[in-house]
Chain A
């Protein structure tokens, strides 16, 4: 995971990737054990990476603010690893291209008409601190968790799509038809709106979002997940050490997802 923004020789990157895989395996085991053996809320700091198991009976607090840092310079042209990982994780079709199909995350290709510079980057819910989708939702179904993750309560969403009108990132999808084979941790419902959950089910288990994991495992390691509230977290250190940008920063939404090298 320690690759963002740095240049590494491939063999070093491979070695690091091996370490990351074993570390993740350890973390998974530790997380599972943590629920049984440790006192609730204990943070497991393993090799400097934050991973906290939140017991289901404990409320989310604003102690953490989960976010992501995406390095477009490391995001591979034609690479779709984050998209397919998200689709597999949550049960939507990454290859579907109809305007009615859901896309919780998508690859956006950019080209500067002056000179032709190209960039590619993943785009999804930016988990704003002041989310317009939450402001406009009449029933409060669009909501922001205390830890900054923006979600849709599928029980109170009436399907008015006003949040889709309000989102500056085109990050939300409306379920246009009946669905089958849903994942138990990612319920979806015809007639309701959905978007990236920052893999909240994984985060609560002390795991990384599926897209971040896939990018690190099989792609360029362009995505870093972490706690923006913790000054010692990797993501905070990086944001403090080099320039990053928010998309549509003019709206001053304080997004939880930041980019570099756009």
Chain B
């Protein structure tokens, strides 16, 4: 274990315009988000594109993206603490900070999209434990506490022996947490597009790929910004892992749809999502599968691009784009397809029975969602400014030195 002896030096990010400028920009977006929330709360959800058929809209796409990514971004720390992979250890602190920041952003969007956000105290004090939503309230708040404790043992040198057990605990917690997020949909027996146990592992796979993609973008941006070295070997390593995760997402997606295609009762919804459902098949095949799945996998594994930072960063961006499309198809597409109450019959009513529900997201919905992303990034930025989250260097020779060099340095 001589390699672990290399001393990693962490440093706060610099102040000045390079800090305050972006923070001011994010602050502005947060204000836009808050104004959007107030606007929706004041006038009611009539000002959104949502209705009685599409009850969860763009805010949920953003919120679930952030929550799922929050769980997955902590995987970088887990790989270091739990699985003992040395090159990941220097990135563990940033991974924990991002987990807290993304979850906070996601939960804020979720809460502000409630019909009665003022009743948050009711949600925190009155529980129905048969509801996976109620469990998620505990899983999410518990996650924040656990990651805070994890960061403490990672950052306090005397506590470092505890990083492995705490890391294990955090790993198990986030597996449960993301299973809970997937089961929000998986346990909905009423709807053709949901009601599937595979939602839990699919969301776990999605969390790993989205979380890592966010991590790659943030760490690359910070290192460039601060002039800190980011080893191309390390970046390629992260890229390859991203490629594997993106492949796992494609695998679960394929199994999900193939299983549905096998049973005649699901042909309608599958035809809708994969073939003739307007915007949804386009988002699925073009954005989710091609741009967000196959292309990034090619970029991180193809010999010509695998070692190029630009390709890895592009792959991460594409995975995020694909993930947003996937969540849009799952959340909005799943609701747009009508409930099947009378199989085999043509159904019609004033309440949109039997027809595809239309959804046109409104500006306040985007405002709220983007405000949540901005909040997550602002928390990350401020965190990195006041505490030592980011190593001074993530050069290959620093994070993954050859054994001889490490021993020499340690001596």
Give the interface of A toward B (CB within 8 A): 97-103, 106-114, 123, 132, 134-140, 156-162, 164-170, 172-178, 189-193, 247-248, 251, 262
A100-B52, A110-B346, A161-B56 given as contacts; is B189 within 8 A of A168 (CB)?
yes
Nearest residue, chain B, Cβ from A95:
B350
Known: A170-B341, A190-B44, A192-B115. 10 other contacts (CB 8 A): A98-B51, A100-B50, A102-B52, A108-B347, A136-B187, A139-B122, A158-B122, A166-B190, A174-B45, A178-B44
- Are the C-beta atoms of B349 and A109 separated by less than 8 Å? yes
Q: How near does chain A come to B50, taking the closest CB pair, in angstroms?
A: 8
Q: Determine the chain A residues whose CB is within 8 A of the CB of B133 once the complex forms.
A: 136-138, 160, 162
What is the total number of residues of chain B having a CB less than 8 Å from a CB of chain A?
51
Nearest residue, chain A, Cβ from B340:
A248
- Are the C-beta atoms of A138 and B115 separated by less than 8 Å? no
CA distance A258 to B46 in the complex (A): 33
CA distance A110 to B341 in the complex (A): 11
Determine whether B342 belongs to the interface, using a CB cutoff of 8 Å to chain A.
Answer: yes
Q: How near does chain A come to B148, taking the closest CB pair, in angstroms?
A: 24
- Are the C-beta atoms of A140 and B339 separated by less than 8 Å? no
- Are the C-beta atoms of B52 and A164 separated by less than 8 Å? yes
Count how many pairs of residues, one from A and one from B, have CB atoms less than 8 Å apart in the complex: 173
A106-B349, A160-B115, A177-B46 given as contacts; is B127 within 8 A of A170 (CB)?
no
Instruction: List B residues 54-72 near A (Cβ within 8 Å).
Output: 54-56
Q: How near does chain A come to B339, taking the closest CB pair, in angstroms?
A: 5
Binary A-proximity of B280-313 (CB < 8 A = 1, otherwise 0): 0000000000000000000000000000000000
Given A106, A134, A167, A174, which contacts B115 in the complex, CB threshold below 8 Å? A174
Q: Interface majority SS on B: helix, strand, loop or mixed? A: loop
Determine whether B114 belongs to the interface, using a CB cutoff of 8 Å to chain A.
Answer: yes
Determine whether B229 belongs to the interface, using a CB cutoff of 8 Å to chain A.
Answer: no
- Are the C-beta atoms of B134 and A170 separated by less than 8 Å? no
CA distance A107 to B131 in the complex (A): 31
A109-B347, A177-B46 given as contacts; is B131 within 8 A of A162 (CB)?
yes
A99-B352, A106-B351 given as contacts; is B52 within 8 A of A173 (CB)?
yes
- Are the C-beta atoms of A157 and B353 separated by less than 8 Å? no
CA distance A174 to B56 in the complex (A): 11
- Are the C-beta atoms of A99 and B188 separated by less than 8 Å? no
Given A110, A165, A172, which contacts B342 in the complex, CB threshold below 8 Å? A110
- Are the C-beta atoms of B345 and A99 separated by less than 8 Å? no
- Are the C-beta atoms of B190 and A251 separated by less than 8 Å? yes
Q: How near does chain A come to B405, taking the closest CB pair, in angstroms?
A: 54
**17 cross-chain CB contacts under 8 A:** A98-B51, A100-B46, A103-B52, A107-B349, A108-B342, A157-B119, A158-B119, A159-B115, A160-B115, A164-B55, A168-B190, A170-B53, A170-B339, A172-B52, A177-B46, A192-B116, A248-B341
Binary A-proximity of B153-188 (CB < 8 A = 1, otherwise 0): 000000000000000000000000000000010011
